[in-house]
Amino acid sequence: MTIPKAKAAKEKTEQSIALKLETARKVRQAMEVAVIRQQREERLEKIRPAQVARQRNALLRKSIEAAGSGLLLIPIDNIEDTVSSQLRALGFRIATKTEDLRVISGGLTKQWRHLEQHRVVTDYSVLLEPFRKFVMISIVNAWRSRENNLEHIQHIAVTLLSNYYKDLKTCNFQSLWSRFERLSKLDSDDRYTKIQMSDLMWDRAEYAMTRDLLGKQTMDLSISQKSEPEFFRIIRTAMGSLETEVYRDSIKAGLDAEAHKVAIQVNKELSCLAIDQLSMSWWSSHKFPGTPSNNYSQKVYWLASLPGQRLLERIASEIKISANAGFPRTDVKISKASDEFEEIEVVKRYLELQGYELTLSVEVDTEATISIAWN
Per-residue pLDDT band for 94 (boundaries 50, 70, 90) equals very high
Work out whether strand 367-373 and strand 329-335 pair parallel, antiparallel, or are unpaired. Answer: antiparallel
Indicate whether 15 pLDDT > 50.
Answer: yes
Residue predicted with more confidence, 280 or 11: 280
Whether residue 193 contacts residue 233, with contact meaning beta carbons closer than 8 Å, is answered with no
Q: How far apart are CA 281 and CA 63, in angstroms?
A: 8
Q: How far apart are CA 8 and CA 296, in angstroms?
A: 81
Q: What is the pLDDT of residue 118?
A: 46
* Among the listed residues 102, 103, 99, the one whose alpha carbon sits nearest the alpha carbon of residue 114: 103
Q: How far apart are CA 68 and CA 353, in angstroms?
A: 10
Q: CA 110, 112, 116: angle at the middle one, nearest 5?
A: 115
Instruction: Give the lowest-confidence range in 16-25, 90-99, 177-186, 327-336.
Output: 16-25
Indicate whether 53 pLDDT > 80.
Answer: yes
> Which of 102-111, 223-232, 259-268 is the most confident on average?
259-268
* Among the listed residues 373, 303, 228, 324, the one whose alpha carbon sits nearest the alpha carbon of residue 66: 303
CA dihedral sign of residues 132, 133, 136, 137: negative
The phi, psi pair for 96, rounded to 5°, reads: -85, 165
Q: Where are the beta strands (DSSP E) in the chain?
A: 73-76, 93-96, 278-281, 329-335, 357-362, 367-373
Average pLDDT over residues 118-147: 78
Q: Hey, where are the domains in the chain?
A: 129-246, 305-375
Q: What is the pLDDT of residue 147?
A: 64
pLDDT digits (tens, 9 = 90+) for 195-247: 888 999 999 999 999 888 989 988 888 888 888 888 888 888 888 888 777 77
Paired with 329 in beta bridges are 373
Instruction: Give the lowest-confidence range in 98-102, 144-148, 289-293.
Output: 144-148
